[in-house]
Chains A and B, each alone.
Chain A
Amino acid sequence: MRGYLVRRSLQAVVVLWAAFTVSFVVLYLLPGDSLSIKLGGLEGTATQEQIDAVRGAHGLDDPVHVQYVRALGDALTGDLGTSAQTGAPVARTIVDALPQTLALTGVAMLLAVFGGAGVALAATFTRLRALRQVLLSLPAIGISMPGFWVGLLLVQVVSFQWGLLPAMGNEGWESLVLPALTLALPAGAMIAQVLAKSMTTALAEPYVETARAKGAGRVRIHLRHALRNASLPALTLAAVVSGNVLVESVVVETVFSRAGIGRLTAAAVDTQDVAVVQGVVLLAALVFVVVALAVDLLYPVLDPRVGRTV
């Protein structure tokens, strides 16, 4: 177990380093000069000497590999550079915005997992063919809805017509409901799709027959026997989906005018603030690594056979 954790931590470090490198290549080497932002849009009036001075001050005259090594060294000490727009340290900016977005993502994932699993279980449990057909067609619809549109529809109906929940802002739990619902819809739909499929497969397995022969009730067979085996693919998917949900917050936080990582990212892309964008890419990679590790540790709990190979 100890060796396993060490190996996984090393893998995590490699993924983070690679994400740093890929984002460095994309953001710093592609055409498009971040210098104009640093000059504050004054490049038209700045003299050549002033431009050279700014380039020199930011180390943009050095060869690319020197810039890369310096940026990597800084990142290792927790210094992700400064935002070209606000001048604040990127690491600080991200940490400040993180709690709001983590709360939103967390609530959305809870809604997605329970909602998605609920739909999938109801669809496989019911004996009414019509109801099953309706439930099974829901995920396909959920996946096809643009998130920004769903959010605006919710604002329109729930906030303005019914006057129930706030349409924007970060105040209190009420403001969390609509954005979380918007984020949860596509995520839950994907989970429901996969879980319904693997539940159907699991229910055709011989052990279900055995359980039935021993006199287990339908609820027990579905929840204790089939669900436990069917949940592994859904769990893997949920790990991938949680990263998507984090990034979808770019759209949803814009729709609901909430402060957080998503709004920060949208603003950074808008102003081509590359240091902030790179910071968010690293954050996403970190989330991916942590969630993947958590899922790997959860596998043996659900399926003891997995644990023996570790």
Chain B
Amino acid sequence: MAAGFATEVLPAARGHLRFVLRRPGLLLSLVVFALVLLAALFPGLFTDGDPLVGTPRDKLQGPSAEHLFGTDQLGRDLFTRVVHASSLSLRATFVAVAVALVVGGGLGLASGFFGGWLDDVLMRVVDVLQAIPRLLLSLALVGALGFGTTKVAIAVGVASVAGFARVMRAEVLRVRSSVYVEAARASGVRSGGILARHVLPNASGPVLVMAALEFGIAILSVSALSFLGFGAPPPTPEWGVLVADGRNFVATAWWLTTFPGLVIAATVLSANRISRALDGERGQDR
């Protein structure tokens, strides 16, 4: 076991490290993303303030050493609010990606594996869903489900189900006709066993990569919907809400929109860069 670690795991880890170090953009993206994740999980590491309580005397102050991102109209520290907002916004993003992955992947798996009329019906539904722009589909779902961070996350996830189902189905069709599935069937493994033991593990690669790519898109959709006011009710901080709140002060307090937006853009940029690396660059490099 120890020998395996020294001969296999260590060189692989060293290879990964060299790959990252040769790409400063990717390294920066990893750092940014790690910081945002940390802020979401342990906001106390970055700030000890309360995102909901302000000192009215300090209202609408520009960025300074004391208030890194400045303060809002109620004197609340914007940096504290952004840090606390990242937990809600990232949780919504994870929920959205998980919904898209599980529902879309599940439908694609069923469609490709069982075929027949189920496949026909599911794929026609997928066709129609892909004719409607995703943001509009999310909006329609929010209109039907109601408002709130979780509902927004589910709406964003469901809007992406079609793409996942299609990719999963294509992959399942490829795996289903492979020799090892045929062998399993010939030796008497039941459908459920083949699905769980052979098809799912071998067909899930492309969908997982797609989930990584979906992350950046989901952050943008979730924050757009929360900007429009369909997310958490005030005064709960969310990235999109913070930008929307600053909208009334665009002429006088530029920091209120600029900094939260910058954090969203930086997070999306990092997520996209990392997923691009996962998608293929590492493979091409070898």
B225 to chain A, nearest CB (A): 9
A224 to B227, CA, bound (A): 44
Q: Assuming A144-B216, A146-B265, A288-B131, is B136 touching A281 (CB within 8 A)?
A: yes
Contact call A269/B143, Cβ cutoff below 8 A? yes
Contact call A289/B131, Cβ cutoff below 8 A? yes
A254 to B230, CA, bound (A): 13
Interface presence of B140 (CB below 8 A): yes
A173 to B242, CA, bound (A): 31
Contact call B144/A247, Cβ cutoff below 8 A? no
B100 to chain A, nearest CB (A): 16
Interface presence of B220 (CB below 8 A): yes
Interface presence of A152 (CB below 8 A): yes
Nearest neighbor of B144 in chain A, beta-carbon distance:
A30
Interface presence of A175 (CB below 8 A): no
Q: Assuming A19-B132, A32-B146, A148-B224, is B243 touching A277 (CB within 8 A)?
A: no
Interface presence of B133 (CB below 8 A): yes
Q: What is the number of residues of chain B that contact chain A, defined by CB distance less than 8 Å? A: 47
Query: What A residues does B145 contact at CB under 8 A?
Result: 30-32
A246 to B127, CA, bound (A): 19
Contact call A148/B141, Cβ cutoff below 8 A? no
Which listed residue (A147, A243, A281) contacts B140, Cβ 8 A? A281
Contact call A153/B258, Cβ cutoff below 8 A? yes
B256 to chain A, nearest CB (A): 10
Contact call B125/A152, Cβ cutoff below 8 A? no
CB-CB contacts of B133-177 with A at 8 A, as 1s and 0s? 111110111111110000000000000000000000000000000
Query: What B residues does A254 contact at CB under 8 A?
Result: 227-228
Grouping DSSP codes into helix (H, G, I), strand (E, B) and loop, the B interface class, with mixed when no group exceeds half, is helix
Contact call A144/B272, Cβ cutoff below 8 A? yes
Which listed residue (A32, A146, A278) contacts B261, Cβ 8 A? A146
Contact call A152/B261, Cβ cutoff below 8 A? yes
CB-CB contacts of B208-229 with A at 8 A, as 1s and 0s? 0000000010001001100111
B96 to chain A, nearest CB (A): 15
Contact call A141/B261, Cβ cutoff below 8 A? no
Interface presence of B264 (CB below 8 A): yes
Which listed residue (A246, A251, A270, A273) contacts B133, Cβ 8 A? A246
Interface presence of A194 (CB below 8 A): no
Interface presence of B108 (CB below 8 A): no
Interface centre among B125, B228, B230, B243 (most CB of A within 10 A): B228
Interface presence of A227 (CB below 8 A): no
Contact call A141/B131, Cβ cutoff below 8 A? no
Question: For window 153-178 of chain A, which residues contact chain B by CB distance below 8 Å?
Answer: 153, 155-156, 160, 167
Interface presence of B57 (CB below 8 A): no
Interface presence of B179 (CB below 8 A): no
Which of B6-14, B40-48, B69-77, B246-254 lies at the binding interface? B246-254
Interface presence of A265 (CB below 8 A): yes
Query: What A residues does B105 contact at CB under 8 A?
Result: none
Which listed residue (A26, A145, A153) contacts B144, Cβ 8 A? A26
Contact call B125/A22, Cβ cutoff below 8 A? yes
A258 to chain B, nearest CB (A): 14
Interface centre among B133, B254, B268 (most CB of A within 10 A): B133
Interface presence of B200 (CB below 8 A): no
CB-CB contacts of A24-66 with B at 8 A, as 1s and 0s? 0011001110000000000000000000000000000000000
Contact call A284/B136, Cβ cutoff below 8 A? yes
Contact call A152/B141, Cβ cutoff below 8 A? no
Interface presence of A272 (CB below 8 A): yes
A244 to B269, CA, bound (A): 20
Interface presence of A182 (CB below 8 A): no
Query: What A residues does B223 contact at CB under 8 A?
Result: 146, 148
A270 to chain B, nearest CB (A): 7
Contact call A148/B250, Cβ cutoff below 8 A? no
Question: For window 186-218 of chain B, which residues contact chain A by CB distance below 8 Å?
Answer: 216
Contact call B129/A247, Cβ cutoff below 8 A? no
Query: What A residues does B269 contact at CB under 8 A?
Result: 140-141, 144
Query: What A residues does B228 contact at CB under 8 A?
Result: 250-251, 254, 266, 269
Nearest neighbor of A286 in chain B, beta-carbon distance:
B131
A281 to B146, CA, bound (A): 18
B124 to chain A, nearest CB (A): 7
B168 to chain A, nearest CB (A): 20
B86 to chain A, nearest CB (A): 14
Which listed residue (B140, B240, B258) contacts A148, Cβ 8 A? B240
- What are 13 inter-chain pairs, A to B, with CB distance below 8 A? A18-B125, A26-B144, A144-B265, A146-B223, A146-B224, A148-B240, A149-B243, A149-B257, A156-B258, A167-B250, A247-B133, A281-B136, A284-B131
Which A positions have Cβ atoms within 8 angstroms of B? 15, 18-19, 21-23, 26-27, 30-32, 140-141, 143-149, 152-153, 155-156, 160, 167, 243-244, 246-248, 250-251, 254-255, 265-266, 268-270, 272-274, 277-278, 280-281, 284-285, 288-289
Task: Knowing that A156-B258, A254-B228, A266-B139 touch, tell me 18 more A-B residue pairs with CB under 8 angstroms.
Answer: A18-B131, A31-B145, A32-B144, A32-B146, A143-B216, A144-B216, A148-B227, A148-B244, A149-B260, A167-B250, A247-B136, A247-B139, A251-B224, A251-B227, A270-B230, A281-B132, A284-B133, A285-B132
